[in-house]
Amino acid sequence: MEIRGIGAVVTGGGSGLGEATARALAAKGASVCILDLGRSKGPQVAASLGGKSFFAEADVSSGEQVASAIDRAVSSFGALHVAVNCAGIGVASKTVDKDGKPFDLGLFTKCIQVNLIGTFNVIRLAAARMVKNAPNAGGERGVLINTASAAAFEGQIGQAAYSASKGGVVGMTLPIARDLSRDGVRCVTIAPGLFRTPMLMSLPEPALEALGKTVPFPSRLGDPAEYGMLACHIVENAMLNGETIRLDGAIRMQPR
């Protein structure tokens, strides 16, 4: 699918992987709806993109808020062709801590609610609009891109909730692609390794450098722009469908 002239929504677009993806899409000529929380930098990012791009405040786990944002995107852009799910939260807690206290079920539920259910919420609402698009010459009507994590495959100590949420994203990628195949809507997931995102940037620089050295090659943390590059390629390469692509420099996470 050619990116120039299309309409896209990027969740978590106010920072990190989402911001980089929104900028990459806009640089190729897309109009972008930055969907993020009100406390994010979403409004500033959207304003910097120019054109028809705009910010929509929404919690990805809210059906009403996401539906409103997507309705606005369709109204502003004429159609919605791409949705990229980058919104997510990180949770770290052991199943049972050193004092014998079990994992807080509310915290586990919140992680699933945002990372997994929030992703599917955006998928279902965006896809419902995409299937109504006129197909391009190749029969495509839309592209859905999700964000998993290396933790979906090698969850570390304390990552039970996070790994479960991201593993769920990986697990639903193929069936969603199969569900939407007759409508010409593709679904692909990216599983990043260690990237310079807000989840990691709270660490001191020496710690970040040490983490980067654990990556086989290139031995550094990933740049969000590299995620954005892959997202654009997925949109442009019609044969990518139903797959989870690891973007991690060949790292395989250790227990801790």
Length of the chain: 256
- Cβ burial, residue 186 (10 Å; 0-12/13-18/19+): buried
Specify whether the backbone of 51 is left (phi greater than 0), alpha (psi in -120 to 50) or beta. Answer: left
How far apart are alpha carbons 25 and 222 in whole angstroms?
19
Specify whether the backbone of 90 is left (phi greater than 0), alpha (psi in -120 to 50) or beta. Answer: beta
How far apart are alpha carbons 29 and 52 in whole angstroms?
11
Q: Which of 54, 108, 162, 227 is catalytic?
A: 162
Query: Is there a catalytic annotation at residue 227?
Result: no
78 CB neighbour count, 10 Å cutoff: 14
Catalytic positions, written as ranges? 162
